[in-house]
Structure 1
Amino acid sequence: MKKDALLDAAESLLSEQGTQALTLNAVADRAGVSKGGLLYHFPTKEALVKAMVSRVIDEFDALIASFDDGTPGSATRAYVEATFEILAGEARAYRRWSAITAAATDPELAEPLNGAMARWHKQPCGEDPVGQMVVRLAAEGLWEVVSHAPELYDAEQFAALRRRLLALLDSPPG
């Protein structure tokens, strides 16, 4: 059993049933492995949550890097593109919510995510730093809304929201 399959099982439990459902026994059952098989990879619940948080951060960092061309303001454009890439992916959309929810129970577990969030939101902002902050915060708000109501927006609405946020980045400051 690969670690990713165990993390997928933990995320789906959190997404479907909430934090009270995240037990090592439940994750092992969901993944179809023995508890010993789970403990081989994740000896504690905290280790499992840390791995969930790390995967969310690594995945988002990689997506941002894939969209960032290094031009002024491209970090925010990349942040928006990465956000929509993940939110459009059915299987990955709940990862961030699950990791945040699991980590929220312990400040130490949440620290890597808090640090990544600060890094993502303090990227160089080009000519219009306030406009870029507004766009990143709007994308962040979309994450929050979709985590609670995943069916709220259809593909066409997501595309329209993406286009509008990117267009705001091309607007002159003012």
Structure 2
Amino acid sequence: MRSHILETARRLTLDGGAVPSLNAVAEAAGVSKGGLMHHFPTRSALVAGLARESLEEVDAAMSRAAAAGTAARTWLELSLPDGDERALMQALASSFRPTDGDFGPLLSDSAVAIARWEALIAAEVGDTVRAHVIRLVGDALVANALVGLNAVDEDVDDLLRSLTAPPAAAETRP
């Protein structure tokens, strides 16, 4: 039932541009409000549930990418959301209340996941500082997407070349 509720809430969020009320989700999912509230007692808990589902999707994609040797590329590609992913991120961001208790565990789990993803990138590129920069570039791309600043056709190949190229030899002066 939980996954059905989240699937319904995601669809309603995308259709309406905002995370819907618990009543709207219960009605669309065909469940009682009590059944919904067993899993998501508040709208904030529903928002956190949607965000956690997205976090798990990114985690799975990064794990697969690390196994394939494409963690850096995948991170940058995931950081360029378009269509439904961008709309969902925007709706979740507008509903996020960091002082709400439902978000504390999500924030902690997100920090752990981000550290894990950065470590996967570091293992691939062989440099923790470069991995940190790649992760931060991805974060900036996401932030730009949230406010509509970046084009979804950002050239990931160009970014990767620039971010992973060997440092230029220092120029020596006579």
**Would you say same fold, with TM above 0.5?**
yes
Counting aligned pairs with the same residue, the percent is: 25
Quote how far apart the aligned CAs of 1:80 are. 2.0
Q: Does 1:121 align with 2:118?
A: yes
What 5-or-longer segments of structure 2 have no aligned partner? 169-174
TM-score of the two chains, using structure 2 as the length reference: 0.68
Whether the aligned pair in 2 keeps the contact of 1:56 and 1:95 (CA below 8 Å) is no
Classify 1:5/1:70 alpha carbon distance in 2 versus 1 (closer, same or farther; 3 Å).
closer
| 1:94 corresponding residue in structure 2 | 87
Quote how far apart the aligned CAs of 1:163 are. 1.7
Quote how far apart the aligned CAs of 1:129 are. 2.9
Correspondence 1:2-151 to 2 at 5 A: 2-9=4-11, 11-12=13-14, 16-17=17-18, 23-28=21-26, 31=28, 33=30, 36=33, 38-39=36-37, 41-69=39-67, 71=69, 74-84=70-80, 87-88=81-82, 90-100=83-93, 101-102=95-96, 104-106=98-100, 107-108=103-104, 109-123=106-120, 125=122, 126-149=125-148
Quote how far apart the aligned CAs of 1:135 are. 2.0
What 5-or-longer segments of structure 1 have no aligned partner? none
Query: Which deviates more from structure 2 when the two are superposed, residues 90-99 or residues 49-58?
Result: 90-99
Quote how far apart the aligned CAs of 1:41 are. 4.4
Quote how far apart the aligned CAs of 1:124 are. 5.5
Classify 1:146/1:82 alpha carbon distance in 2 versus 1 (closer, same or farther; 3 Å).
closer
Residue correspondences, number: 159
CA distance in 2, matches of 1:105, 1:23: 20
| 1:16-41 deviation line (CA, Å, top 9, x unaligned) | 35xxx653234446x46465263354
The structure that has the greater radius of gyration is 2
TM-score of the two chains, using structure 1 as the length reference: 0.68
Classify 1:76/1:70 alpha carbon distance in 2 versus 1 (closer, same or farther; 3 Å).
same
Classify 1:120/1:99 alpha carbon distance in 2 versus 1 (closer, same or farther; 3 Å).
farther
CA distance in 2, matches of 1:97, 1:112: 20
CA distance in 1, matches of 2:66, 2:89: 21
| 2:158 corresponding residue in structure 1 | 164
